Amino acid sequence: MTTKDLIWWNLETLFPVEEEIPAQYSYGSPISHTEYLINGEIRHWNGQMQDIFSPVCLDTDNGPVKKLLGTSPLLTEKEALEALDAAYLAYNNGTGEWPTMAVEDRIKAMEKFVVAMKEQRALVVKTLMWEIGKTLKDSEKEFDRTVEYIIDTIDAYKNLDRDSAQYEFEQGIIGKIRRCPLGVVLCMGPFNYPLNETFTTLIPALLMGNTVLFKPAKIGVLLHRPLLEAFKNSFPKGVINIVFGRGRETVGPLMKTGKINVLAFIGTSKSANILKMQHPKPNRLRSVLALEAKNPAIVLDHADIDLAVNECILGALSYNGQRCTALKILFVHNSVVDEFNYKFTEALGKLKWGMPWEKDVQITPLPEPEKPAFLNELIEDAISKGASIINEGGATVHQTFYAPAVVYPVTKDMKLYHEEQFGPVVPIVSFEKIEEVIQYMVESNYGQQVSLFGTDREEMAGLIDKFVNQVCRVNINSQCQRSPDVYPFNGRKDSGEGTLSVVDALRTFSIRAMVAAKEISANKEMLRGIIKDRQSNFMSTDFIF
């Protein structure tokens, strides 16, 4: 049996019989998800529903069949506008209960939510695993990292408020400066990190006193169902509203009202631009965008090849390459490219394929139904222009599973050189002069991160100084990544707008406001009384522990 035949046989036996799935990982019967949250009320939808299928197929007498996980509401423009009205009324032009609430009380509400969220860990993790094909280990990590992010954000907000507790005295003017909310936030997360990435915008937006309308992505919907009750019970009515459905029917009408003050969107620049253009007063719209990227790895002739291979395997194929921070093109110096390619494909061959709950599994089925055809289109274009798949069985498709493919040599006339694949296809480019790679980065539409592999201090230093003006993070001898969450996460060009991190996000979803008074006796006495009797949350000098 040839290697290719062996790979196909393994794929043929990849999907499980439902009865053989370990009980702790079994999904069970489909869920009828009818709930959505508007104005502090969990409502039930009686209209059109959307079937939610898992990328995990089940082996049946009729062959592999996608597991039906349940149904989700396809709400209409009417429900979306009701949710917007609830958020708009709760904010009430900045005079509502939530935006004027004391910082300490907003923090208590968020802490209450965290406690309730933790109770749903097992269910959310299992749903993440089944709904988007993420490994059990990574699903657990996503949940735990999200909880940690919320706690860290609360701590950062306390520090921010402590710094704001004091008064400024300058040139005879007493000044009190605090950060204030911006208004109504429309929050839209991605399918690949439907919990963590979504909450990196939703949580700081809420903490800073904004009201939120949240619309999940079309994939990764059911995992939010267990959290609806926690949101409802933790925040005043209208502060957080959650609707489900197609973006075309729900999001467009929201933007056209002009009542959205902040667009927090994680997705493609094309979609973001369409949404922004629908706002009648775009100058009043603040955009917080985490968009696509084509992060390159650059392997120099003096790089530690074994280290570079290990990091590039992780960077290119963690969660099947379905990450905005994934390494999506590898530039390897022509003097070491043969060695790199050999060791890379050898390491790739050792990765375990399988179901998300299996121990040490690394390559899993893809949740996007149209993705295999898109990836094959990119590869066919590259092959027609001189490239080859250099690993055995690469690009083999079996239902929702796509065997990772390494494509070499990729050149600038190929789609894979320019377009983001967002999947398990690894294009490798051989280069002779570093100026070729620098020019690629200058001309690229994207500017998120780069991974730079090398040991020559002088060359590395020079490249660092060039690349920090092309991307927002240069990773030395390591893969591209977002963590730690305390570091800034942003992008240039079409890769992002606004900065996210534990601290930066709080600033991104707020604006500095100031109360100023001349330093005269009457003003001093009035301010002293306001502070003493705690008559104003803004003017407060309370220190939050």
Task: Summarize pLDDT for 287-312 with one digit per residue, the tens.
Answer: 999 999 999 999 999 999 999 999 99
φ/ψ bin of 302: left (φ > 0), alpha (ψ from -120 to 50), beta (otherwise): alpha
Give the residue from 421, 414, 310 showing the smallest Cα distance to 375: 421
* Bond prior to 99 in cis (omega within 30° of 0): no
List all residues 6 or more positions away from 478 whose beta carbon is below 8 Å from its beta carbon: 311, 451
Q: Are 281 and 258 in contact (CB under 8 A)?
A: yes
Q: Mean of the pLDDT values across residues 315-330?
A: 97
The CA distance from 166 to 445, in Å, is 44
State residue 7's pLDDT score: 59
| CA distances (Å), origin 238, targets 66, 87, 94, 207, 286 | 37, 5, 13, 14, 21
Q: What is the 3-state secondary structure (H, E, C) of 179-235?
A: EEECCEEEEECCCCCCCHHHHHHHHHHHHCCCEEEECCCCCCCHHHHHHHHHHHHHC
Q: Report residue 2's pLDDT band, with 50, 70 and 90 as the boundaries.
A: very low
- Assess whether pLDDT exceeds 50 at residue 465: yes
| DSSP letter, residue 27 | -
Identify the residue with better confidence: 61 or 299: 299
| CA distances (Å), origin 100, targets 113, 147, 281 | 20, 26, 25
- Assess whether pLDDT exceeds 90 at residue 10: no
Q: Are 175 and 514 in contact (CB under 8 A)?
A: yes
Report the percent of the chain where pLDDT is more than 70.
98
Helices (H), 322-456: 337-349, 371-384, 415-418, 434-443
- Assess whether pLDDT exceeds 80 at residue 175: yes
- Give the three-state DSSP class for 116: helix
- Give the three-state DSSP class for 51: strand
What is the rounded average pLDDT for all residues in the chain? 95
Burial class (CB in 10 A: 0-12, 13-18, 19+), 61: exposed
The CA distance from 474 to 345, in Å, is 25
The CA distance from 58 to 14, in Å, is 9
Q: Are 29 and 38 in contact (CB under 8 A)?
A: no
Nearest 5°: phi and psi at 242? -125, 120
Give the residue from 194, 236, 232, 228 showing the smallest Cα distance to 211: 236
Burial class (CB in 10 A: 0-12, 13-18, 19+), 2: exposed
Beta pairing partners, 474: 450
- For the question of whether the overall pTM of this predicted structure is more than 0.85, the answer is yes
State residue 9's pLDDT score: 53
Q: Mean of the pLDDT values across residues 137-152?
A: 97
The rounded Cα 177 to chain-centroid distance in angstroms is 32
- Give the three-state DSSP class for 377: helix
Q: Report residue 1's pLDDT band, with 50, 70 and 90 as the boundaries.
A: very low
CB atoms within 10 A of CB 209: 24
Residue 462 amino acid letter: G
Q: Are 257 and 147 in contact (CB under 8 A)?
A: no
Write the pLDDT tens digit of every residue in 389-402.
999 999 999 999 99
Bridge-based pairing state of the strands 425-431 and 327-333: parallel
170-174, 274-278, 481-485, 540-544: least confidently modelled range: 540-544
Nearest 5°: phi and psi at 505? -65, -35
The CA distance from 538 to 541, in Å, is 9
State residue 8's pLDDT score: 53
State residue 81's pLDDT score: 98
- Assess whether pLDDT exceeds 90 at residue 248: no
Identify the residue with better confidence: 133 or 165: 133
- Assess whether pLDDT exceeds 90 at residue 543: no
- Assess whether pLDDT exceeds 60 at residue 527: yes
- Assess whether pLDDT exceeds 90 at residue 5: no
Identify the residue with better confidence: 376 or 61: 376
Bridge-based pairing state of the strands 388-389 and 405-408: antiparallel
